[in-house]
Structure 1
């Protein structure tokens, strides 16, 4: 009588036990990686199901459209922030650049759509380049440099609006206004633009050499330099990209509101950072993905919408819930990162 013997059974007991020990860390490491990458998506789906069961108006077309539009502008800002944080940096200037971009776009709209779009991109992109140069070439801390840029951009905004007393309007019949107010297949054009930007951002970060440099700089800057990665150029580029995204988001928002509102953008930098971190990007750098940032934005907007649906809660609870949720996510990321290193 013959007996089938597997290769695992033919190995000595000590070898089999060692193999089992090796398999366990592999499974644990994969679980930790999946939790970091898809935890926000699972939470978003659970939150949407719970909200739809609790509120009849949550899944209505008007409510979903409003959430999508309000998410689009923050998502564009968060896209640029993702690249910055993956390199291990931070950009506190995006909220002020968002407001500045909106005012510049509204002012430039009187000269046509091209000026309305290019002017905020040029100015906000230039401020981003300056941030990158100071950080990469002078070795200054990103927190200090971008904080100064935040104050400077807000100062420029106040200067061109007479201390905020002047509001530039956009002609409702202009092509620029249609970019913010018209829809395609029932979905607002800003949403389509945001989706296209995220697809492009995902390709750039995951499939290009520049994306590899971004991960390398965030993982270990010294090692990246030894491998020949252009560390300074990569940093300058990601901060320029962050400025461009903030300026574009501001321009689209101005087209949507048909005006350049000076009080917008306050605290948006913290919302963008929260969305990126909630989406799974590590604040320490070296790990992250743009799709997670989009999920993080949507999750924040769902939480805000649920609080608005309740009605009896003050809007301040949005900040409390968002802050508490961010703290939980950061703690979870830290624990998962340590667990992966131990395994």
Structure 2
């Protein structure tokens, strides 16, 4: 079914709207599952009844999470709205509410213990997650041009919600970053010597800039160990480290540290936000650094530290001698 003309038309529409490659894979997966579940009937002859049956099947028989249910629904709505040009109305199914849970937070000693069990680029990735409040996708997709060691700024390009933002860069990471840049440069120069050197970028950028993508500034700070074929544009390039590679290293480091909390790459972002608020940083500033669209997302960290005022100090406590 992966080569069916219909699925190709779905793929084309996704790429026309410049969705990420990860979203493309996810949407195609759920469209394919929807068609298979309904005995390979064409979506054109299906409607609310078949959609509701499929979504209920996911919830009842497959026991998927609310977030996964919503993901499948988004893919199907995209299919009908953008490919079949039909609006799905009066669907007897609503977006599932994902339970709001307090995120797991590590203290400084636990972060230090995990870092003590990591080496090389994996140590630096973790340090950037905790020191800059990055998402793992943002850390792995950092390019050389995004790093300003002099002003200690880090550009997060095209982050979640396709938004750019700047975040602070810890000064004591300078030497580690410089070593990683040198490592990336050595790999890039080897690629150039072998007739390659293009980095992976969205197909539209490659089409627009072409050979410029060989410039060192466009290379990833954490390049993959091997070259690959671009999944859309088809050229040979070098991508960044895969998130599963980092996840494996992190899991080993957490086990070696003896920490029993559930720790993922995102846990360090939670710890970053909590420490900023605990030390008195303004919640609006933290919201901007994290790239949250809604301040209510940032406010969850004030609950973690047990103070909705997020470290605000009374003027009385600032009086001389108080």
> Which is helix-richer, 1 or 2?
1
- Which structure would you say has the larger RCO, counting Cα contacts within 8 Å and 6 or more residues apart? 1
Same fold per superposition (TM over 0.5): no
TM bracket (short chain): under 0.3
Normalising by structure 2, we get a TM-score of 0.25
Normalising by structure 1, we get a TM-score of 0.24
